[in-house]
Amino acid sequence: MKFTRALSLIIAVVLAPFVAAAPNTQSDTIANSAKLKQKLTETLSVEVHSLQQSPIPGLYEALTDRGVLYITKDGSKLFHGSLYDLDKGMKNLTEAAMAGPRMKMIKPLEDNMLVYKAKNEKHVVTVFTDISCGYCRKLHNQMDEYNDLGITVRYLAFPRRGVPSANADEMEAVWCAADPLTAMTEAKAGKSIKTAKCDAKIAEQYHLGQSLGINGTPAIILEDGSMIPGYQPPKDLLRALESIN
């Protein structure tokens, strides 16, 4: 069964085994870990990076190249979606599970980022962007304001039409330009950028975005790995960054 089809099916998770299950801890050993990873890979065509206890007893949390999935201990049932903690102000536990791994997964592509560095740097955000999306252009038009607030903005490519596509080729032209930062500004102003080829790793950037649970642009990754899906005005972004420090 293909990933998209499988995850569109809402599968009821049987609650009875959960009630009798022992309390979950991060250090619990998952005896059938290899078997569960293999089943997820074969059934959904996903790569499983890690498998651990979830906040719900009897349910495991799988970090995959398509985001977080939840699977029962016997591997018979699957849940895809967000878990919230009602006792902690509706904290998104699924998002929290992705925060730490995001920063580790982003690091290998740091050399491929287009960086707009603040002179008085106080914070660094990573933004998955597309040259044609309206709110990406709005964010870019305010780059000086972000920088003036001490926010360094690092861009990674997320061509919304996927890879390969004309959209991806256009983004490669930006990354491979003689002056990529200027080319980005021109591209987001609607100007055509001369075709160029180089080892920009546009496909790798795009697939990384998918792995991090990104499905639209802009997507802003904060310093703790948490993600804001969508545009944030400069002062609002600063408040969000200050709230985690």
Contact 7, 80 (CB under 8 A): yes
- Identified catalytic residue from 102, 136, 154, 176: 136
Using DSSP bridges, classify how beta strands 123-129 and 151-157 pair: parallel, antiparallel or unpaired: parallel
Give residue 245's pLDDT.
61
Q: Indicate whether 18 pLDDT > 60.
A: no
pTM across the whole model: 0.80
58's tokens: 């009897």
- Identified catalytic residue from 66, 102, 130, 137: 130
- Judge residue 197's burial from the number of C-beta atoms within 10 Å of its C-beta, 0-12 exposed, 13-18 middle, 19 or more buried: exposed
Contact 153, 147 (CB under 8 A): yes
Residue 133 CB neighbours (<10 A): 17
Give residue 43's pLDDT.
95
Strand partners of residue 155? 114, 127
Residues near 179 by Cβ (< 8 Å), separated by ≥ 6? Answer: none
Strand partners of residue 124? 152
Q: Decide if 176 is catalytic.
A: no
User: Where residue 15 falls among pLDDT bands split at 50, 70, 90?
Assistant: very low
Q: Decide if 239 is catalytic.
A: no
Contact 205, 197 (CB under 8 A): no
Give residue 211's pLDDT.
87
Q: Decide if 160 is catalytic.
A: yes
Q: Decide if 133 is catalytic.
A: yes
Spatial distance between the Cα atoms of 221 and 54, rounded to a whole number of angstroms: 23
Contact 59, 18 (CB under 8 A): yes
Domains with residue ranges and CATH for the chain = 3-95 (3.10.450.70), 108-242 (3.40.30.10)
pLDDT in tens, 58-73: 999 999 888 899 999 9
